Structures are given as structure tokens and as C-alpha cells.
Structure 1
Amino acid sequence: MARRRGWDGRPPASDEEASERIVSAAVELIAETGTGVSIADVAASLGVIRQTVYRYFPTAEALMHAAAIATVDGFLDRLAENVRGITDPAEAMVEGVMFTLEEVTRTPQIRVMLSGPQAAATSVNVASDEGQAFGMRMITRFDVDWGKYGYDESALRELVEFTLRTMVSFFVAPNEPGRSREELRRFLRRWLGGAILAQPPGGRQ
């Protein structure tokens, strides 16, 4: 069998193109496997050696982050459309969480961003700068006047962390098969929604 030629016989014309093709390969592999992939996996899919990938991404974590970022804008656009017109903070957040939990089955790159490169409970990174930035981009897409409900930037960041941790718990221990979609919505509305509305209108005490 002939040895596969690197880059499918089409070497990139620039470092930027090489980086983009590496990220695209990672995105495709994550979509196929539903979890994080290694530098070796990505290199093999491109027909290059690992050192070639390492030249652009020094760690698997850096590459997985780049792959997640490459899919974030489309996800956020879909999220914004899903929660459009909802001005109640509890309702907006519940619908946002419901949408995200369902979307990660179709866009595993988002799960990788929220739960770490191997999407494992041992590598949760929701409190990282990347996780927080992702969460803030999510929450600011809502049609909610957060200030009206007592949320300044500091409180919003805490809410983001709390909500992301809630979502990751569902990745680790998925929703019970016998619980319907509407039952899950009621569960989230009661507990997550209740916590959100408990914020004093004037801010934290």
C-alpha cells in the first residue's frame, strides 16, 4: 500500500492555512468520536508527523480549545435564536441550559470546551478563563435586563460559573432516561430558576 502523502498532497501555502487545516481536522475528528482527540490522531488524519502539529499547537488542550472556538459562533447564533424574546432571567437561563444540553449531542466540540479535552469529570475547566468567557458570551445573548434583576458583572460571572457547573453535572451523570424533556425543564425551572430569581433586585446583600 502506498504511503499517504502529507497534507493530502496539498501542502499549505502559509502558516495560517496550516493552522486552519489542523483545526478543521480536529473539529471533524471530535464530531466523529464525540470526545477530545490527541495530537497523534490529528496528525494521522492529515498524513503528517506529530511534530508538524506541535509546531502550531504545543498541547492537545490548545488544539481542543481552538477546535471549540471554531464552532462557538454558530452555536451562539443558534442559542440566541432559541431564547429570543425571553426577558425573564430564570426562563431564559432554563431554556439556554436545555438548548445547550441537547446541542452538545450534535456539537461535541462545545462539550469538550466545557468539560476539558477528554470530556471527563477529572478535567472540568468551567472556572477557567476560556470557560468563563464562553459562558459570558452565552448569557449576554439573552434578551434579559440583568441589571434590573440585581446582576452586576461580578454577579453575572458567578451565575455563569454556577450554571456551567450545573450543565457539566449532566455530562457526568446524564438525565434519567425516564424523565421527559418537560420534566427536566420543570426540574431546572424549580431549582436553577429559583436560585436565579433569589438575587435581590438591588444586588448582593
Structure 2
Amino acid sequence: MRTHGWSGAAPADDAEAVERIVAAARRAIDRSGDEFSIAEVARDLGVTRQTVYRYFPSVEALLTATAVAQTEHFLNVLAEHLGDIRDPATAVVEGIAYTLERLPEEKYLGLLLRPGRASAFSAGVTSDTARSFGRSLLHRFSVDWAAAGISDLDELVEHMLRIVQSFVIDPGRPPRRGAEIRGYLSRWVAPALVPRGINGCECSAHRR
């Protein structure tokens, strides 16, 4: 780790450097929105742009890292909202619906999910950022996935993210809200999480 600059107070290690850069990016986003620049972050920290680029190769990478770090608040709110819902279909339907409803109020969640420079979907729903966010969602659920017979959580994450992506890109005309979106998800998403047998076979989400 280079120690030059940092307004005379160099970070102890790379982890602290990253933490301070992300904090400066958060302040820049609060001032300038997602149109902030690496130069703005560097000035705040008292370092060169090259120092910031050593840790984050682009403004998009820094924006994404900052948005991901700040969504921890939303994930905790989601966990409280879902409470003790243990039925996988009910939990997934409510998790998707609530995430979509919170977008207007959660600035950093909006940066991550809406189309734009920080979007988790900028590289597709199978990107590392998108998958990491999806797994964080599932980990907030009170569902015992193994007991429910759902072993392929990566595939479930992808399925959920594809649904969220579709509603983010095109919320509908008019957009579905409240009971309407929950009804839609219950009819078309929930059945994939309920064991269904055809000649004794279950759906792929429940194969062990």
C-alpha cells in the first residue's frame, strides 16, 4: 500500500484505504449524485487520482462498491419486514415485492438496481455483483431452504434477479403495486417454489 498523501494521515492497510475511499465516494454521491468523479474523491482524501484507481479501476467500480456497502441498511430493513415468514414461496414473493416498493426511498438500492453506471445488472443478472446482492437477500430470509427441499440457491438467486430486473426495466402500464404485484407474483412465481410432481418427479428447484 502506498502511503503518500492522504492529507498526512495514511491508512494502516489496504482494507482501511478501501474503507476511506468508499466513505469519500459516499460523500461525493451525497453532493453530486452518481455523476461524481474520481478527481472529486481524490481531492476529498488528499491523494492523487492514481491512488484511487489503484483500488478501483473505474468510477463505475467505485460507485458499485459504494452502493453495495450502503445497501446493508436496506437488507436489515428487509429482514425485519419479512420477520418469521418461513414458507419459501411466501418469502420470495414478499421479498421481491418489498424490494421493488422500496426503490424510490432507498437511494443506494436505487443506484444498484436501476439502469445506470452502478447497476448490479449492468453486466447481467449473472454478474458477481448481482449474485452477491441476491444471496444477501436470501440470507435475510427466515426460510430453512434445505428443509424446504431447495438446494440450488444460485439458480433461485438468478430467477429472482431476472424477475426484479424485468420490473425495474419495465414496471408496467400502469405499474403494479401493493396487492396487485403480490397477486401477480403469487400466481406466476410462487408455484416454482412449491413441490410439483409429474409421475413422481419434482420441479428442478427441488431436486437434491
Matched, 1:90 2:89: yes
Alignment map for 1:56-71 (pairs within 5 Å): 56-71=55-70
For residues 188 and 33 of structure 2, what CA distance do their matches in structure 1 show?
A: 29
Change (3 A) 1:96 1:105: same
Tell me which moved more, 98-107 or 160-169. 98-107
Alignment RMSD: 3.3
For residues 163 and 35 of structure 2, what CA distance do their matches in structure 1 show?
A: 21
| 1:95 Cα offset (Å) | 1.1
| 1:129 Cα offset (Å) | 2.4
Which one has the bigger helix percentage? 1
For residues 41 and 185 of structure 1, what CA distance do their matches in structure 2 show?
A: 42
Alignment partner, residue 166 of structure 1: 163
What letter matches 2:206 in structure 1?
G
Tell me which moved more, 120-129 or 159-168. 120-129
Larger RCO (CA under 8 A, 6+ residues apart): 1
Tell me which moved more, 11-20 or 73-82. 11-20
Q: How many positions carry a matched residue from both structures?
A: 196
For residues 132 and 169 of structure 1, what CA distance do their matches in structure 2 show?
A: 16
Change (3 A) 1:97 1:160: same
Alignment map for 1:11-160 (pairs within 5 Å): 11-14=8-11, 17-30=16-29, 35=34, 37-40=36-39, 42-43=41-42, 49-114=48-113, 118=117, 123-152=122-151, 155-160=152-157
Identity percentage of aligned residues: 44
| 1:198 Cα offset (Å) | 5.1
For residues 185 and 103 of structure 1, what CA distance do their matches in structure 2 show?
A: 14
Change (3 A) 1:44 1:190: farther
Change (3 A) 1:24 1:118: same
For residues 125 and 24 of structure 2, what CA distance do their matches in structure 1 show?
A: 25
Structure 1: gaps (5+ residues): 1-5
| 1:164 Cα offset (Å) | 0.7
CA deviation map 1:152-174 (0-9, x unaligned): 1xx22111101011111122113
Tell me which moved more, 186-195 or 45-54. 45-54
Aligned to 1:55, the other structure's residue is in SS state helix
Change (3 A) 1:181 1:12: farther
Alignment partner, residue 190 of structure 1: 187
Change (3 A) 1:145 1:179: same
Q: TM-score, normalised by structure 2?
A: 0.74
User: Is the Cα–Cα contact under 8 Å of residues 37 and 117 in structure 1 kept in the other structure?
Assistant: no
